[in-house]
Structure 1
Amino acid sequence: MASLKIDADPDEVGLDAARLQRVDSYFQRYVDEGRLAGWSVAITRRGRVVHYSHAGVTDLDTSTPVTDDVIWRIYSMTKPITSVAAMMLVERGLIDLNDPIAQFLPEFAEPRVYVAGPAANPATVPATEPIRLWHLLTHTAGLTYGFHHAHAVDEIYRTRGYEFGTPRGVDLATACQTWASCPLLFQPGSEWNYSVATDVLGRVVEVVSGKRLDEFFAEEITGPLGMTDTGFVVPEDQRHRLPKVYTMTAEGLRANASFSATGTVAPTMLSGGGGLVSTAGDYHRFTQMLLRGGELDGVRLLSPRTVALMTRNHLPGNADLETFGRKLFAESSNVGVGFGLGFSVVLDPVAGKSLTSAGEFAWGGLASTAFYVDPAEEITAMFFTQFVPSSTYPIRPRLRTLVMQAVVD
């Protein structure tokens, strides 16, 4: 297990220790008030771990406390890892950001775009632009998620069995064929919509590398970085480290059996968009690799120039998500926030009324996990819990504020 231990006093790296304790006191209320079962939070500055704490339990029935070795379902925090995998292949010259994905996935050769009508009988037109690799990385391909419940195409996904998961027995290749047969929400590159694009990207990684996605991750990313507890399934003898996933009901927190099953059985479909489990110690190593420009402890996955490209805004016209994106649920404001190659990217903290830095990049997961990297302040922060849906509480913006207000140098 990749360990995560405090190795610096806050004042050594320009943080006020008393102010930093506000992180714990704030999130402790979520446990005390019965809004979360438990959580972990980790904060670093200049590569030093200055804060790592836990509260609550992983199982309300057994009162098992949150500890250092909890294995969390990180859901969409898988997406940055898949994006790194794709960019590693770009660096090797095996793919290019402008490549039409039909070169690797022929089922996407003739996409059609929704223009009107119900899900049962939609009117469509041919796409005027092929879906390109950068469209997948930026969620501008025109793909969607069934769980959005915002558009007829979302309903088409649901009728085919794709809402939060996939039909039983379906693998990634088959899922991509189904998605390719569905109409796109819009012409590729013309809007932003959070979607299965990163799952399709994972399939591109498989086809180009000749490896299953789990093999590529283990051999090229998680293995070299020492992320020993990160994968698509928790070994049977380690299942006791996996928390239950909770949701709020009229009677209070209740375990969600469907989500709690994630990670207990090896999945047929390897979801590059949301399939991984990980620990705070493991994901810490991933964030440090990003903060250090693609390298950690002598292991280099990406060039610093590649990480810099990934963490710039790629939305056309330097638009933010508020103006370029579909109006969907969001854990925090999309004003002044763009999107790079796998990450949200802060363009203007003033526009977003956010206590953070321009250039901060981040993402989170369905079960309310979140991370961000602030290169300007050399800060990383991670929050782990297991609560769905992630849009319920303002965890991400509060975490940023509570960390930044402790910076005093």
Structure 2
Amino acid sequence: MKALTEFIDRLTSWRIPWAEVMVIHRNETVIRYRSGLSNLEEETPIEEGRIFNIYSMTKIMTCVAALKLVEQGKMLLNDPLSAYLPEYADMNVRKRLPGGKLEIERAKKPILVRDLFTMTAGFSYDIGSPSLKEVAEQTNGRVPTRAFAEALAKEPLLFEPGTRWNYSLCHDVLAALVEVVDGRRFGAYIREEITGPLGMKDTAFDLSEEQQSRLLPQYEYKDEQGRPVRKDGNGYRLGTEYESGGAGLLSTVSDYALFLNALTNKGTSPDGVRILSPAMVDLMRTDHLTDRMRGDYNWEQLKGYGYGLGVRTHASKAQSGSLSPLGEFGWSGAAGCMAIMDPDSGLTVMYAQHLLNNQEPYIHPRLRNIVYANL
């Protein structure tokens, strides 16, 4: 796959400090390539086993964690969320009146469990909202995941639940739902039910001292300076005890690829560890958008894709211009990593970089087409 290695080299000579790609076809790693510098100041080349923020690629694992509970009959997608998180029983919603004035009204529809998966609950992604600032003060900066969900319920919704799509804190609330339904802390549940059984040793919300030594510097590309500037930390981590189901995990390329490949194999790893049933993986990659929601789901790089239970899913080749088959699914993260899972081709792609202002609309569709053209 010369075209792929050349593309990765092109990215790292352009504006991405380092980039890495791992392609697994029918459980065999067919290409693994990395280039660039992990530390620009010290000019260190990128090496194996380095840990980075996967941000919103956490969402895939959070949804799998919650779907396991659906499989076990512990909750249903069509249950009202308030059956488990009572603070969501009587929600307020912002309504714009004909004259443009905003009014706060009582929501007519309940938030359903499915609305958390599909980003249709009506939440925003405002991590600086008054209620979230307040819970940070009240808990002395700890913000346990369950306390976060209680606080968010005080904020008015942007729309009636189930009527529109908005990328938001839905999956962070989903993590709190898992805690309540299962009884364990979200990170412990993830470790005992998913990462542990799959042999993933480097994927967690908090790192050991040894792992901390492998954590990569993070950069942000400053257009006005024309260069990447060091910017460490995770702005979505609202407190020391906050396990963000939406953006909190750290991982490595090799580690997260184990999880992605199990989903490519319809929920079971090559050595027989089952994290989801094939039927649930198919439900996860079914497009759950209505026509009304499609207008909200309008990111350039997602043309021709629908949205399933926490993942993009390929729905129209004519619109996407993508060489992948329909039903290819995955998601990406704020610093530019991307997952491709494709049960029909037996293909898994884990792409990684650690740069905010990540150039996703340019990189991801091109990367996908290069991989599929060479399959």
State whether TM-score is above 0.5. yes
1:320–1:337 contact (8 Å) kept in structure 2: no
- String of CA shifts for 1:51-88, please: whole Å, max 9, x gaps: 00111121112222211211121011111101011111
For residue 175 of structure 1, the aligned residue among 148, 156, 160 is: 148
- Taking a change above 3 Å as real, the CA distance of residues 53 and 391 of structure 1, as seen in their structure-2 partners, is closer
Residue identity opposite 2:288 in structure 1: H
2:144–2:239 contact (8 Å) kept in structure 1: no
Aligned equivalents of 2:50, 2:373: Cα separation in 1 = 28
- Taking a change above 3 Å as real, the CA distance of residues 389 and 159 of structure 1, as seen in their structure-2 partners, is farther
Q: How far is the alpha carbon of 1:334 from its aligned partner?
A: 3.1
Partner of 1:74: 54
Partner of 2:305: 337
**Aligned ranges 1:305-384 → 2 under 5 Å:** 305-316=279-290, 319=291, 323-325=294-296, 330=299, 332-384=300-352
Q: How far is the alpha carbon of 1:374 from its aligned partner?
A: 2.0
Structure 2, unpaired ranges of 5+: none
**Aligned ranges 1:97-112 → 2 under 5 Å:** 97-112=77-92
Q: How far is the alpha carbon of 1:240 from its aligned partner?
A: 2.5
1:368–1:385 contact (8 Å) kept in structure 2: yes
Aligned equivalents of 2:89, 2:32: Cα separation in 1 = 48
Partner of 2:249: 276
- String of CA shifts for 1:259-305, please: whole Å, max 9, x gaps: 4x999x99321111110011111111111110111111121111111
Aligned equivalents of 1:392, 1:61: Cα separation in 2 = 24
Partner of 1:256: 231
Residue identity opposite 2:6 in structure 1: S
What SS class does the counterpart of residue 166 from structure 2 fall into? Answer: coil
1:74–1:365 contact (8 Å) kept in structure 2: yes
The answer to whether residue 185 in structure 2 is matched with residue 212 in structure 1 is yes
2:236–2:247 contact (8 Å) kept in structure 1: no
Aligned equivalents of 1:239, 1:59: Cα separation in 2 = 15
Q: How far is the alpha carbon of 1:95 from its aligned partner?
A: 0.6
- Taking a change above 3 Å as real, the CA distance of residues 257 and 277 of structure 1, as seen in their structure-2 partners, is closer
Aligned equivalents of 1:342, 1:190: Cα separation in 2 = 17
1:74–1:277 contact (8 Å) kept in structure 2: yes
Q: How far is the alpha carbon of 1:48 from its aligned partner?
A: 1.2
Q: How far is the alpha carbon of 1:28 from its aligned partner?
A: 1.0
1:232–1:277 contact (8 Å) kept in structure 2: yes
Aligned equivalents of 1:267, 1:41: Cα separation in 2 = 31
Aligned equivalents of 2:232, 2:253: Cα separation in 1 = 23
What SS class does the counterpart of residue 295 from structure 1 fall into? Answer: coil
Partner of 2:123: 143
Aligned equivalents of 1:254, 1:231: Cα separation in 2 = 26
Q: How far is the alpha carbon of 1:229 from its aligned partner?
A: 0.6
Q: Aligned-residue CA RMSD in angstroms?
A: 2.3
- Taking a change above 3 Å as real, the CA distance of residues 333 and 30 of structure 1, as seen in their structure-2 partners, is closer
Aligned equivalents of 1:77, 1:320: Cα separation in 2 = 26
What SS class does the counterpart of residue 282 from structure 2 fall into? Answer: helix
1:142–1:185 contact (8 Å) kept in structure 2: yes
Aligned equivalents of 2:81, 2:339: Cα separation in 1 = 29
**Aligned ranges 1:225-304 → 2 under 5 Å:** 225-249=198-222, 250-251=224-225, 252-259=227-234, 267-296=240-269, 297-304=271-278
Aligned equivalents of 1:43, 1:404: Cα separation in 2 = 11
Residue identity opposite 2:12 in structure 1: V
**Aligned ranges 1:116-195 → 2 under 5 Å:** 116=96, 122-146=102-126, 157-160=128-131, 168-195=141-168
- Taking a change above 3 Å as real, the CA distance of residues 213 and 59 of structure 1, as seen in their structure-2 partners, is same
Partner of 2:11: 30
The answer to whether residue 31 in structure 2 is matched with residue 51 in structure 1 is yes
Q: How far is the alpha carbon of 1:101 from its aligned partner?
A: 0.8
Aligned equivalents of 2:236, 2:175: Cα separation in 1 = 19
1:233–1:267 contact (8 Å) kept in structure 2: no
2:305–2:312 contact (8 Å) kept in structure 1: yes
Partner of 2:371: 403
Structure 1, unpaired ranges of 5+: 1-19, 148-156
Aligned equivalents of 1:170, 1:267: Cα separation in 2 = 7
Residue identity opposite 1:348 in structure 2: S
What SS class does the counterpart of residue 84 from structure 1 fall into? Answer: helix
Q: How far is the alpha carbon of 1:257 from its aligned partner?
A: 3.5
Aligned equivalents of 1:76, 1:363: Cα separation in 2 = 7
- String of CA shifts for 1:150-205, please: whole Å, max 9, x gaps: xxxxxxx545557xxx7733221222122111111111111111110001000000
The answer to whether residue 72 in structure 2 is matched with residue 92 in structure 1 is yes
What SS class does the counterpart of residue 197 from structure 2 fall into? Answer: helix
Aligned equivalents of 2:80, 2:302: Cα separation in 1 = 28
What SS class does the counterpart of residue 351 from structure 2 fall into? Answer: strand
Q: How far is the alpha carbon of 1:353 from its aligned partner?
A: 2.0
- TM-score scaled by length of structure 1: 0.84
Aligned equivalents of 1:38, 1:123: Cα separation in 2 = 48
Residue identity opposite 2:274 in structure 1: R
1:320–1:334 contact (8 Å) kept in structure 2: no
1:315–1:324 contact (8 Å) kept in structure 2: no
- String of CA shifts for 1:367-396, please: whole Å, max 9, x gaps: 111111122322111111101133565221
Partner of 1:3: none
Identity within the alignment, %: 35
Q: How far is the alpha carbon of 1:46 from its aligned partner?
A: 1.5
